[in-house]
């Protein structure tokens, strides 16, 4: 504006954590976040996925949200699903506005410690549990078409995994791999493959099996990493090294952390070590099997959170537990989660295209830009692919 000096300058900063929600910018920008929108309650046990435009969050758990919470009185599922959230949310990465999506079809009922991934505009949700944890677990694969917001249940053949929760999933060469999980009493590191064309499950052979990945009281040590070789069809222990940039050289042992992969790099963040909640971020180079600590950290230590990586290289972290209380009972350390969060943190793990950087800078200097009608955005020369990533007016 004429006669008004800018007292802020935009600079693109990779490998620096920024809080996306709740807002921390100027009052003018804060108004943009909250206009006409609600937002998810604090939660853990949920899962998120992301594309370049939006982050999606499904499910979650919070026993401290009252069944009569006024924000949830209109929710058709809350009275029955409480303390689990039977809901799908979308967070627009440009407008920074949350939208609760009203879907069609049968939504999954196992809403905690499930697994989720994304293929194109399809959200895949597998497994999970209800409450009490382990009382009802699932081995169903549900698909939500994010363009029509319709759920469907994928019918499969073959040898599926047992109904479990806390498993990990990975997409590779048009197949979905499911690793591990628990019933709440038994733990497994079985590896199953689902051919997404044939829709057929197969249990992959394994000569030996490492310790289960979902023993909640067991810390994961990062020096020796168990890995399943698809070529050899067996588990291996991979010896990792440190790049020498830090005194300890390796991530502290932890559990309930989050993990994403970008090419030959695997990133972990947060977690808990006994009774210490962590905020650090580390990268493991798969080609070198070498750890490196990132020169940043989450603004809030957190565990039982969820992380996702957008195709253009932006790491997103949402929710989780941020405060605990501990008590020794019969010589066993009991941990009770006291506080959960609905914060979103973001971190660029690469330098994206110049177009991406310019778009971010433009929204930094003109925060009301994203609320303009589509016709006005076109008149300003904003490319259509960027307009489609916003939540513009009509």
CB atoms within 10 A of CB 64: 11
DSSP letter assigned to residue 368: T
CA 201 vs. chain centroid, Å, equals 25
Would you state the pLDDT for residue 9?
87
Q: Which of 174, 60, 183, 65 is nearest to 116 (CA)?
A: 60
Would you state the pLDDT for residue 337?
79
The answer to whether 151 and 106 have CB atoms below 8 angstroms apart is yes
pLDDT by 10s per residue, the chain, length 394: 344 455 578 999 998 998 888 875 443 343 334 444 489 999 999 999 999 999 999 999 999 999 999 999 999 999 999 999 999 999 999 989 999 999 999 999 999 999 999 999 999 999 999 988 888 999 999 999 999 999 999 999 999 999 999 999 999 999 999 999 999 888 999 999 999 999 999 999 988 888 765 544 556 778 999 999 999 999 999 999 998 887 789 999 999 999 999 999 999 999 999 999 999 999 999 999 999 999 999 999 999 999 999 999 999 999 999 999 988 888 777 888 789 999 999 999 999 999 999 999 999 999 888 889 999 999 999 999 999 988 765 5
Coil, helix or strand at residue 85: coil
Would you state the pLDDT for residue 24?
59
What angle is formed at CA 318 by the lines to CA 277 and CA 82, rounded to 5 degrees? 95
Would you state the pLDDT for residue 36?
40
Q: Rounded CA gap, 225 and 179, in Å? A: 15
Would you state the pLDDT for residue 214?
52
Q: What stretches of 322-353 show up as alpha helix (H) in DSSP? A: none
Would you state the pLDDT for residue 329?
81
CA 171 vs. chain centroid, Å, equals 15
Q: What stretches of 70-112 show up as alpha helix (H) in DSSP? A: 78-81
pTM of the model: 0.92
Would you state the pLDDT for residue 213?
55
Coil, helix or strand at residue 332: strand
Q: Map 250-310 to HEC letters.
A: CCCCEECCEEEEECCEEEEECCEECCEECCEEEEEECCCCEEEEEEEECCCCCECCEEEEC
Cis peptide before 83 (omega within 30 of 0): yes
DSSP letter assigned to residue 320: -
Instruction: Note the maximum CA span of the chain.
Output: 73
Would you state the pLDDT for residue 37?
47
The answer to whether 149 and 142 have CB atoms below 8 angstroms apart is no
H/E stretch holding 385 reads: helix 384-387
């Amino acid at each position: 504006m004429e006669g008004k000096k800018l007292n802020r300058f935009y600079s693109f900063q990779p490998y620096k954590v920024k809080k996306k929600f709740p807002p921390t910018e100027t009052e003018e920008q804060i108004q943009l976040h909250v206009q006409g929108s609600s937002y998810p309650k604090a939660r853990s046990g949920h899962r998120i996925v992301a594309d370049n435009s939006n982050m999606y969050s499904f499910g979650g758990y919070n026993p401290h949200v009252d069944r009569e919470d006024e924000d949830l009185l209109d929710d058709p599922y809350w009275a029955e699903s409480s303390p689990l959230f039977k809901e799908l949310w979308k967070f627009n990465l440009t407008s920074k506005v949350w939208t609760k999506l009203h879907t069609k079809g049968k939504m999954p009922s196992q809403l905690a410690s499930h697994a989720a991934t994304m293929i194109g505009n399809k959200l895949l949700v597998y497994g999970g549990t209800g409450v009490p944890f382990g009382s009802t677990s699932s081995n169903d694969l549900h698909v939500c078409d994010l363009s029509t917001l319709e759920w469907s249940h994928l019918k499969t053949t073959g040898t599926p995994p047992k109904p479990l929760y806390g498993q990990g999933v990975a997409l590779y060469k048009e197949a979905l791999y499911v690793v591990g999980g628990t019933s709440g009493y038994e733990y497994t590191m079985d590896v199953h493959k689902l051919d997404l064309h044939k829709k057929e499950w197969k249990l992959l052979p394994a000569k030996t099996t490492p310790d289960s990945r979902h023993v909640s009281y067991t810390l994961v040590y990062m020096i020796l990493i168990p890995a399943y070789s698809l070529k050899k069809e067996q588990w291996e222990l991979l010896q990792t090294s440190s790049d020498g940039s830090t005194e300890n050289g390796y991530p502290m042992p932890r559990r309930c952390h989050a993990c994403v992969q970008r090419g030959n790099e695997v990133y972990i963040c947060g977690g808990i070590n006994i009774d210490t909640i962590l905020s650090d971020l580390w990268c493991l180079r798969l080609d070198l099997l070498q750890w490196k600590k990132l020169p940043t950290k989450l603004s809030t230590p957190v565990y039982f959170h969820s992380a996702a990586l957008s195709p253009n290289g932006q790491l997103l972290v949402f929710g989780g537990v941020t405060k605990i209380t501990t008590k020794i009972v019969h010589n066993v350390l009991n941990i009770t989660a006291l506080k959960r969060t609905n914060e979103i943190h973001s971190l660029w793990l690469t330098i994206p295209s110049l177009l991406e950087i310019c778009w971010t800078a433009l929204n930094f200097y003109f925060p009301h830009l994203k609320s303009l009608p589509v016709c006005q955005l076109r008149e300003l020369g904003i490319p259509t692919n960027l307009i489609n990533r916003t939540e513009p007016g009509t």
